[in-house]
Structure 1
Amino acid sequence: MTPYIQAEQISKRFADYMLFENISFTIFKDQKVALIAKNGAGKTTMMEILAGNDEPDSGIITKTKDVKIGYLRQNPDLDDRLTVLEQALKSDNPALQVVREFEKAIKHNDHQAMEKLTVQMDELHAWDFEVKVKQILSQLKIDNFDQLVGSLSGGQQKRLALANILVNEPDLLMLDEPTNHLDLEMIEWLEQYLDRTNCTLFMVTHDRYFLDRVCNEIIEIDQNQVYSYKGNYSYYLEKRQERIEQQQASTEKAQNLLRTELEWMRRMPKARSHKAKYRVDAFYELKEKAGFRRREDNLELSIASSRMGSKILELDQVSKAYGDLILIDDFTYKFSRFEKVGIVGKNGTGKSTFLNVITQAIPADKGTIDWGQTIKIGYYRQDGIDFNPTDKVIDVVKNIAEVVTFEDGNRMTASQLLTRFLFPPESQYGLIEKLSGGEKRRLYLCTILMQNPNFLILDEPTNDLDIMTLNVLEDYLAAFDGCVIVVSHDRYFMDKIVDHLFVFEGDGKIKDFPGNYTIYRNSVEEEEERAQAEAKALAQAKEVKTTPTKPKQQSQKLSFNEKREFEQLEKDLAKLEEEKTSLENQMNSGELAPEALIEKSQRYAQLKDELDEKELRWLELSEKA
């Protein structure tokens, strides 16, 4: 196996906090590896170090010569002045550079440049790259190729950066949370794309289905040590539990042995100098092993919700549109107690708008929204993190309440609450700007839940949270004594939480589906397969009906119809060759307008396919002539 990147004994400290220490691992060619660790353990920092954008405090990073790396950051650094297509084509790849220059020549109507670049496009087979770029952008729901990068949303910029990296076809693909800002359809497309591609993959993601289906190795950083698992996410879960149980059993065994050794070591001081040195050394090793305590910083979410009455939320013929874009059309629904609803649909179909309408953050165009008097909303917004970076962590909670009183009468100070949310006392006086993305989201979640809501509205709550925190949040929501509406692209999360789905189908249509996401997706696939089977059967029936019956024995010589076809083919081939020569002269003349040049180029590609097909048929008939 060819090693692409090797990390040897690398360590990194952030201020007074050790992210990781003496970590070693290797990424080999053809591996698809995921990095798993808790928030704040340095996953993104590790990616930056491997990509060459940061340096470890100690240790060595070795990269195989000429390995081409494509790195998708959580927050990509793009050129705001470029158009979408120019940014997507930004590359060291000669073919993509020619495509980019060709697009620029068309934009500026530079006939001389177009004439020169057309030849280079043919030589480098760059027409295929141009088609591929536009296909990937379309799959990622970016259709306006002339739009300036600076006018795109953060999510669109992330998708554009992903498109640019995929088009470049690197040897090693490094992705930091690639599924953030993708809808479920895009995630499934990316899953299939990465599963098919031959590139080596190293990524950080919290999407467990994505991990399970794409990766064949998991690297976990846990308690400043690195563990490698040769398998997907399901295999990792099984083997990780075995490792933890073995560690605990080993600690218990060491503690039992330590009692015997301790008695031996406490014998008379005079005798101690005569003890074998190897046994004294073994005692101290045993003492260290017996004293091992696995530090499980598990998030504890046991906050009670406020009591709710019989009336929850009633929507009657609610509609919302922006001009001709209809997002919600005459939607009526009455919520029941303890209901947990998932919202799915393509980006732009109105999911976040729906949440803002029902919370009356934006007004509906028509219809009524009636909340029960006992309902207390906790709204976790996708873009709701609005902390002052120079504030201290504890100040964020104290600004809401110094002491939190829960529904069951229990009281908790701000510091105690933060400790429960995995912010130990020593970190509570640190600045917000020093927190990782996942830690900021965990703090934001704390500020929402500490207000004792009984109706939770969660818009993409899983972004940037580590898998361990997600598991605890899922258990909390499953037992939550209230209503939940959740918008999420995390299919695993949705499957564990929701009872049914609101499926946003576009044009304001919202379908109520009874089941979780996997059940819904399976039903969609079954419908698609049924439709394809019916279409295939219909096509076959038409073919049988229209196809003439062939004679039982066919002559080896040309039939009358084949002779006529053979003669016609000779005429067609001559005409096609003339057209091909004419097109080549026109494209090389430099006199064509940009639109005409593109049209001629497309016809030229079609013409070559027609010639190949007719020449092959001519050869078949000529053998019988």
Structure 2
Amino acid sequence: MNILNIEHISKTFGDKTIFDDVSLGVHQGDKIGVLGVNGTGKSTLLKIIAGQETADEGEVIFGRGIRTAFLPQNPEFPDGAKVLSYVTEGKHDPDGNEPVSEAKTILTKLGICDFDESVDHLSGGQKKRAALARTLVDPADVLILDEPTNHIDNDMALWLEDYLNRFKGVLIMVTHDRYFLDRVTNKIAEIDEGKLYTYDSNYSGFLALKTQREEMELATERKRQSLLRTELEWVKRGPQGRGTKQKARLDRYEQLKNMEGPREVQNVEMDSVGTRLGKKTIELHRISKAYGEKELIKDFTYILLRDDRLGIIGPNGCGKSTLMKIITGRLAPDTGEVVTGDTVKIGYFAQENEDMEDGIRVIDYIRDVADYIQTPGGKISASQMLERFLFTPSMQYTPLSKLSGGEKRRLYLLKVLMDAPNVLVLDEPTNDLDIATLRILEDYLDSFQGIVLAVSHDRYFLDRIAGRIFAFEGGGEIKQYEGGYTDYLRAGKPAEEPKPKEKTDKKSWKQKDTRLKFSYKEQREYETIDEDIERLEEKIISVGQQMEENASQYTRLAELTEEKSKLEEQLNEKMERWVYLNDLAEKIESQNS
């Protein structure tokens, strides 16, 4: 059953084409994730569907009686409204009353418990969560959500996943959270160069299907080029007559010549840039910080290692950003000491964009940091770096006010990197960055010669980049876990300690051995993992060769593409285990020496 149809939508802003004759049918039960590089029109598409913006051409047609609810990326709030009245305004339960109980439940799940607080007094993140609660209360037939996972912590994300999985209506959303996309959506709509591609799958399936589509497009292009060469040779020889066959071949040549091949996929490009980091990095010695009676950080000590990849997690308001500000020298601890090495150069990517005056041109915003930057490939100008970050020459001379929210975040990230830091502090880097840019950032961090600290609620991002997790666990306590976010979950959130027994049998008491050691399974895995990795690499090379040999056999090519994707996923998992096991082996050896 069709809930709504998007029919032949076109939209331009100035000389930029956002949508070019785009259509999409939305059916009952569809849960659609909208993807695309920042600035390609994801938020615009949602606004058009929600009726907040009009298309230049085409229309959106809803089924009879269909109700929609829209969460914009940057909601607007009435002056002086109280939280509960704002959330329930215009909403009614089956008895015609305001759904106060439902609103309170959802607000509590989203970490807002003072229902009589003025919306004006809420933080930016709390305001977005209040707007999300308003959208979810008395839900409509179609939920349209723009970045619902921004400003929610991991527990809230899990609750929202469950809520949306149980939701019976249609969901259309933009989010950067790849685990969230994978677990909630059943269809992906990708905006690319003004076109819309749909995939009947969640995020994992989309990655495989997109790879398959691009491989097939390249195979088709190779075939077209081959035919074009054949026709060109015939044209050069010149037809002896002007019969029907000769004219048909000339027409065919012109048609092949004028066909467009697949466009090269545009992605952000990053070279590893930075300055040398000496032996002395940043040392935190018994630091503490409190606001009033609320103790955020209590007696915390840690010395950052030169290749540390640290993920910082915890509920909203627990002190994560406070810790980052103390590390970067923007805030002093109440007690304790922060010692920073002479060679340390910090790049701080804050939650909110800094110093982005609307009248400044894009190129001047970057040149304010540096005209040139040294990369492994040589010197690169600010303009060239902007092009690598998908800011075309014409865009570089436009004011910042013309950029989308996501484009501003991408530009801000470039400004941080242009300063060539050797310690990168990323405070919620995934907010408003598109998935394509996040993937490139993750790849960049793999080769970054320095320290990375990331505060994030993005579970996928933390799994991808973190080698150690610091979790805020209440009362100012910060606990260390080895591995990424999933490893932290496996280690288990701290459970309540069992109450001690009144009597202890002294004869049966034995001191627990707290030294690190391999389990039997880990020992076996450690001994064989190098050979496992080598075998997987050989298989990937073999499958790649088969793909080249079967480039024109679409069915076989699709099978091989899927096989290669699975092998690469297995290899990534093995490499992550290799890092973990070798790190553990070093620690075991050091404690035994």
Instruction: Please indicate the TM-score interval, normalised by the length of the shorter structure.
Output: 0.7 to 0.9
1:101-500 to 2 correspondences below 5 Å: 129-268=99-238, 271-272=241-242, 274-275=244-245, 278-289=248-259, 291-406=260-375, 410-500=378-468
- Aligned CA distance change for structure 1 residues 316 and 438 (closer, same or farther; 3 Å): same
The alignment's TM-score, normalised by the length of structure 2, stands at: 0.81
Q: What is the alpha-carbon distance in structure 2 between the residues aligned to residue 293 and residue 193 of structure 1?
A: 40
Task: Answer whether contact 2:347 2:419 (CA < 8 A) is retained.
Answer: yes
1:485-564 to 2 correspondences below 5 Å: 485-524=453-492
Please list the CA deviations of residues 264-291 of structure 1 after superposition, one character each: whole Å capped at 9, or x if unmatched. Answer: 33454773564465544433332234x5
Q: CA deviation at 1:244?
A: 0.4
Q: What is the alpha-carbon distance in structure 1 between the residues aligned to residue 88 and residue 262 of structure 2?
A: 52
1:24-43 to 2 correspondences below 5 Å: 24-43=23-42
Task: Answer whether contact 1:90 1:96 (CA < 8 A) is retained.
Answer: no
Q: What is the alpha-carbon distance in structure 2 between the residues aligned to residue 393 and residue 474 of structure 1?
A: 24
Task: Answer whether contact 2:33 2:189 (CA < 8 A) is retained.
Answer: yes
- Aligned CA distance change for structure 1 residues 315 and 56 (closer, same or farther; 3 Å): same
> 2:53 corresponds to which letter in structure 1?
D
Q: Please give the root-mean-square deviation of Cα atoms over the aligned residues, in Å.
A: 2.0
Q: CA deviation at 1:144?
A: 0.8
Task: Answer whether contact 1:478 1:496 (CA < 8 A) is retained.
Answer: no
Q: CA deviation at 1:131?
A: 2.1
Task: Answer whether contact 2:471 2:478 (CA < 8 A) is retained.
Answer: yes
Task: Answer whether contact 2:370 2:419 (CA < 8 A) is retained.
Answer: no
Tell which structure's C-alpha radius of gyration is larger.
1
Which structure has more helix as a fraction of its residues?
1
Alignment-derived partner of residue 66 in structure 1:
65
Q: CA deviation at 1:293?
A: 4.2
> 1:53 corresponds to which letter in structure 2?
Q
Determine what percentage of the aligned residue pairs are the same residue.
45
Q: CA deviation at 1:177?
A: 0.7
Q: CA deviation at 1:237?
A: 0.4
Task: Answer whether contact 2:41 2:191 (CA < 8 A) is retained.
Answer: no
Alignment-derived partner of residue 7 in structure 2:
8
- Aligned CA distance change for structure 1 residues 519 and 409 (closer, same or farther; 3 Å): closer
Please list the CA deviations of residues 371-429 of structure 1 after superposition, one character each: whole Å capped at 9, or x if unmatched. Answer: 111111001111133311122111111222223345x5932222112112221212211
Task: Answer whether contact 1:303 1:450 (CA < 8 A) is retained.
Answer: no
- Aligned CA distance change for structure 1 residues 64 and 385 (closer, same or farther; 3 Å): farther
Q: CA deviation at 1:367?
A: 0.2
Local SS of the residue matching 1:305: coil
- Aligned CA distance change for structure 1 residues 493 and 137 (closer, same or farther; 3 Å): same
> 1:170 corresponds to which letter in structure 2?
A
- Aligned CA distance change for structure 1 residues 75 and 264 (closer, same or farther; 3 Å): same
Q: What is the alpha-carbon distance in structure 2 between the residues aligned to residue 353 and residue 527 of structure 1?
A: 26
Task: Answer whether contact 1:303 1:452 (CA < 8 A) is retained.
Answer: no
Q: What is the alpha-carbon distance in structure 2 between the residues aligned to residue 509 and residue 396 of structure 1?
A: 40
> 1:463 corresponds to which letter in structure 2?
N
Q: What is the alpha-carbon distance in structure 1 between the residues aligned to residue 95 and residue 127 of structure 2?
A: 20
> 1:30 corresponds to which letter in structure 2?
G
Q: CA deviation at 1:521?
A: 1.7
Q: What is the alpha-carbon distance in structure 2 between the residues aligned to residue 86 and residue 273 of structure 1?
A: 80
Q: What is the alpha-carbon distance in structure 2 between the residues aligned to residue 409 and residue 522 of structure 1?
A: 41
Aligned length: 498
> 1:67 corresponds to which letter in structure 2?
I
Structure 1 gaps of 5+ residues are 100-128, 532-625
> 2:235 corresponds to which letter in structure 1?
M
Alignment-derived partner of residue 75 in structure 1:
74
- Aligned CA distance change for structure 1 residues 80 and 506 (closer, same or farther; 3 Å): farther
Q: What is the alpha-carbon distance in structure 2 between the residues aligned to residue 65 and residue 276 of structure 1?
A: 56
The alignment's TM-score, normalised by the length of structure 1, stands at: 0.77
Q: What is the alpha-carbon distance in structure 2 between the residues aligned to residue 254 and residue 525 of structure 1?
A: 57
Alignment-derived partner of residue 47 in structure 1:
46
Local SS of the residue matching 1:13: strand
- Aligned CA distance change for structure 1 residues 474 and 48 (closer, same or farther; 3 Å): same
Q: What is the alpha-carbon distance in structure 1 between the residues aligned to residue 323 and residue 73 of structure 2?
A: 27
Alignment-derived partner of residue 580 in structure 1:
none
Structure 2 gaps of 5+ residues are 499-593
Q: What is the alpha-carbon distance in structure 2 between the residues aligned to residue 332 and residue 272 of structure 1?
A: 87
> 2:39 corresponds to which letter in structure 1?
G
Task: Answer whether contact 1:177 1:204 (CA < 8 A) is retained.
Answer: yes
Task: Answer whether contact 2:20 2:195 (CA < 8 A) is retained.
Answer: yes
Local SS of the residue matching 2:313: strand
Please list the CA deviations of residues 74-122 of structure 1 after superposition, one character each: whole Å capped at 9, or x if unmatched. Answer: 11122122110101111243558633xxxxxxxxxxxxxxxxxxxxxxx
Q: What is the alpha-carbon distance in structure 2 between the residues aligned to residue 304 and residue 268 of structure 1?
A: 55
Task: Answer whether contact 1:76 1:158 (CA < 8 A) is retained.
Answer: yes
Alignment-derived partner of residue 525 in structure 2:
none
Local SS of the residue matching 1:423: coil
Please list the CA deviations of residues 418-464 of structure 1 after superposition, one character each: whole Å capped at 9, or x if unmatched. Answer: 11222121221122111111111111111111111001000011111
Task: Answer whether contact 1:10 1:22 (CA < 8 A) is retained.
Answer: yes
Q: What is the alpha-carbon distance in structure 2 between the residues aligned to residue 141 and residue 276 of structure 1?
A: 74
Q: What is the alpha-carbon distance in structure 1 between the residues aligned to residue 213 and residue 192 of structure 2?
A: 12
Please list the CA deviations of residues 165-203 of structure 1 after superposition, one character each: whole Å capped at 9, or x if unmatched. Answer: 111221111100100011111111101111122121111
Q: What is the alpha-carbon distance in structure 1 between the residues aligned to residue 426 and residue 12 of structure 2?
A: 34
Task: Answer whether contact 1:474 1:493 (CA < 8 A) is retained.
Answer: yes
Local SS of the residue matching 1:163: helix
Q: What is the alpha-carbon distance in structure 2 between the residues aligned to residue 463 and residue 261 of structure 1?
A: 51
- Aligned CA distance change for structure 1 residues 155 and 272 (closer, same or farther; 3 Å): farther
- Aligned CA distance change for structure 1 residues 269 and 457 (closer, same or farther; 3 Å): same
- Aligned CA distance change for structure 1 residues 525 and 212 (closer, same or farther; 3 Å): farther
Q: Which moved more, 1:293-302 or 1:25-34?
A: 293-302
Local SS of the residue matching 1:320: strand
Task: Answer whether contact 2:406 2:433 (CA < 8 A) is retained.
Answer: yes
> 1:396 corresponds to which letter in structure 2?
Y
Please list the CA deviations of residues 274-319 of structure 1 after superposition, one character each: whole Å capped at 9, or x if unmatched. Answer: 4465544433332234x51422222111132211111111111100
Task: Answer whether contact 1:404 1:412 (CA < 8 A) is retained.
Answer: yes
Q: What is the alpha-carbon distance in structure 1 between the residues aligned to residue 95 and residue 13 of structure 2?
A: 39
Q: CA deviation at 1:164?
A: 1.1
